[in-house]
Structure 1
Amino acid sequence: MQTRAYRIETAGGTPRLATIDLPDPGRGQVRMTIHASGLNFADLLTIQGRYQDIPEAPFTLGMEAAGEIEAVGDDVTELAPGDRVAVFGGCGGLAGAGLFDAARVVKLPDAMSYEHAAAFLVAYGTGHLALARRARLQPGETLLVTGAAGGVGLTAVEIGKLMGATVIAHARGADKLAIAREAGADHLIDDGDDLRARLLELGGVDVVYDAVGGDAFRAAFRACRPEARLLAIGFASGEVPQIPANHLMVKNLDVIGVYIGNYLKFRPEAFRDSVATLFGWYAEGRLKPHVSHVLPLDRVEDGLDLLRSRRSTGKVIITPCPLTRCRHAP
């Protein structure tokens, strides 16, 4: 079959929409119609050649997607044509259809739309693994989330609140802070304020969930309580902070790296356990993915520009459609 796809054809090349041939699934693979694909800041880094895990060209962009199984490889037994699924494939999501490793595919709760599913695995999976497994966040602790209105930040606000933390949201502008409040934030700090001073006024923090880096990380670092944990999620500011090890000693601090992509390689059961917990919370109505924009595949560059210019909140979703047919999400 043929499908449209947003592709990088050569290393360092500019991505473009193209029509590609998609073969039948091989061993351990599934082919799925893609109804929705979630954009991530990592897509921008991949295009720039700066991401830590870039496939060999040519490849189709798009880390996560949701849709319907069309066909399965001979040895795939837990998935079948017609199943509603999501995939954290790492690439391949910005297309009308794609081939993915079956081990990366999860079945969706009946009540979950494709748009919500495409907004779920990377952001919520990162938040839950980071806070529950890596930081061991406890009820009553104070959690700071930087970039709190973005894709991964907003989900961390939700998850932290569900886990019983007092949540401080740090974001740029009243509109973004209002969205963080709706997600459960107890305290709001504007990006233009003195972050360290405001955090100290609130008594300091036990866990920092930082996807920004740069000045935000440094200010949060200086406002940590003893035995605090700082989660390095990403560096949207463009600056990777340098950490003074002597300060770690004085306050007995932990700095913890979180990269969800590697969990599917060295501990996939941890990722699947997190997703099962999160899907349960979603089915109970305790999680509400925030999607600020839904755009068709031929406007994917507009979607990426929304991320680049920080004009989106939560997730930007792309809705591809295969050349062969177009079946819409329920």
Structure 2
Amino acid sequence: MNAAVVTSFDEPPHHLPFDVPEPDDGQTLVDVLAVGLHPRVRTGATGKHYTSSGTLPMIPGIDGVGRRPDGKLVYFVADDDVIGTMAEKAAVDRRRMVELPDHVDVARVAAAMNPAMSSWVALRRRVPIQPGQSVLVLGATGNAGAMALQVAKRLGAGRVVGAGRDVARLKTLDADQTVALGDGPDALADAAAEVDLVLDYLWGKPAAEAMMALLTARSDRSRQLDWIQLGSIAGPTIELPSVALRSANFRIQGNGQGAVSPRAYLAELPALVEEIDADRISATPRVVPLADVESAWAEPDVPGERVVLTPREPSRSS
């Protein structure tokens, strides 16, 4: 089969022949139809993700849409392995796949599931949102952050605030209020000091500054504020005064691989597929042939779009 193959962590993947994987017990060999080029995939292909084994060659890709031998369309999530999903075929654990409707837009599902999954699972499993609660999305101008605003509203948020650096992108977001991070922590506190939950895709210095600004401005510090850490675009660490945790009812936790069991993640996928299929949570795929993976890898991400690699030109259901 042909696949996107990483032969060096210092180079993008190349379109090369690769042995078809042999399914183990409990696995099914599926024909891959569409695979999203997510930030997590890029990190894994550099060997820098915390799940990386450092083994080469590897095929990147953590999820995808495919067709089983019985003809059914499925969305699937890959095991942490060197043989990922950016290939014509993938060996998939049957416990990590969910059936899709025959009419589904496979490229849209491949584009949307991964970025929407972080906030969907966070607000359903990690800190279940209560109807009417307010949510701040820190890093809302990224694809996952923009989708988190939609997810929060679909799950019952009464008010959503989006904060990000891309001022032009902020104007397009589905939020009740937006804040440009360039305006400083005080502007963020004015807009979001009373929120109940924060979905943080940034971490680093912006998150540390936002934490202190929100806690300082909060009218009742004993009212619980849940901070859910989802990404680290602005840096892998923060410097946070201990008083932040002593002077307020403030809880920090993360959501990602290991924070929620694979079974719990998989249990949430059918409902998320339904939302994406009905376009209640929207995503715009930019379909690129798998053969062009090297050039697609070098292109910068476009706000609001997600590159989807296809071993063959997809129709709406294939």
TM-score interval for Structure 1 and Structure 2 normalised by the shorter chain? 0.7 to 0.9
Q: Give the Cα–Cα distance (whole angstroms) in 2 for the partners of residues 124 and 241 of structure 1.
A: 25
User: Shift of the alpha carbon at 1:249?
Assistant: 1.6
CA positional deviation for 1:28: 1.0
Using a 3 Å threshold, how does the CA distance of structure 1 residues 304 and 53 change in structure 2: closer, same or farther?
same
CA contact (8 A) 1:152 1:314 kept: no
Q: Partner residue of 1:207?
A: 197
Q: Distance in 1 between matches of 2:303 and 2:289?
A: 16
C-alpha separation between the residues in 1 aligned to 2:160 and 2:179? Answer: 11
Residue 307 of structure 2 aligns with which residue? Answer: 316
Q: Which residue of 2 aligns with 1:39?
A: 37
Measured against aligned partners, the alpha-carbon deviations of 1:236-289 in whole angstroms (never above 9, x if no partner) come to 123422333331121121111111x336xx733311221122233345552223
Deviations 1:276-303 (A, max 9, x none): 2223334555222333x22222332343
Q: What corresponds to 2:243 in structure 1? A: 246
Q: Secondary structure at the match of 1:188?
A: strand
Q: Shift in Å at residue 327 of structure 1?
A: 6.5
The answer to whether the aligner puts 1:117 opposite 2:109 as a matched pair is yes
Question: Which amino acid in structure 2 is aligned with residue 178 of structure 1?
Answer: K
CA contact (8 A) 1:111 1:283 kept: no
d(CA) in 2 for partners of 1:316, 1:23: 25
- Aligned partner of 1:170 among 139, 159, 163: 163
TM superposition shift of 1:11: 6.8
1:161 aligns with 2:167: no
**Which residue pairs with 2:85 in the alignment?**
93
Q: Distance in 1 between matches of 2:41 and 2:12?
A: 13
* TM alignment of 1:124-203, pairs within 5 A: 124-165=116-157, 166-181=159-174, 185-194=175-184, 196-203=185-192
Which residue of the partner structure matches residue 279 of structure 1?
273
Q: C-alpha distance in 2, partners of 1:315/1:327?
A: 16
SS of residue paired to 2:149? helix
Give the corresponding residue for 1:74: none
1:123-173 per-position Cα deviation (integer Å, ceiling 9, x unaligned): 222111112221222233221112223232122111111123211112333
The separation in 2 between residues aligned to 1:327 and 1:288, in whole angstroms, is 19
SS across alignment from 2:258? helix
Q: Deviations over 1:189-236 (max 9, x none)?
A: 224222x22222225132111111123212321214432111111111
1:57 and 2:56 aligned:
yes
Post-superposition CA distance 1:36-92 (Å, at most 9, x none): 10111112222332101114333210111112113xxxxxxxxxx211011111562
Q: C-alpha distance in 1, partners of 2:190/2:9?
A: 49
Which of residues 221, 229, 232 is equivalent to 1:235?
A: 232
Contact map agreement 2:136 2:192 (CA 8 A) in 1: no
Matched position secondary structure for 2:25:
coil
Amino acid in the other structure paired with 2:269: V
TM-score, structure 2 normalization = 0.85
Structure 1 letter corresponding to 2:68: I
- Say which of 24, 40, 52 aligns to 1:26: 24
Counterparts of 1:298 and 1:230 in 2: how far apart (Å)? 41
Q: Percent identity?
A: 25
Secondary structure of 2:171's counterpart equals helix
Deviation at 1:93, TM superposition (A): 1.6
- Check conservation: 1:37, 1:317, Cα contact below 8 A: yes
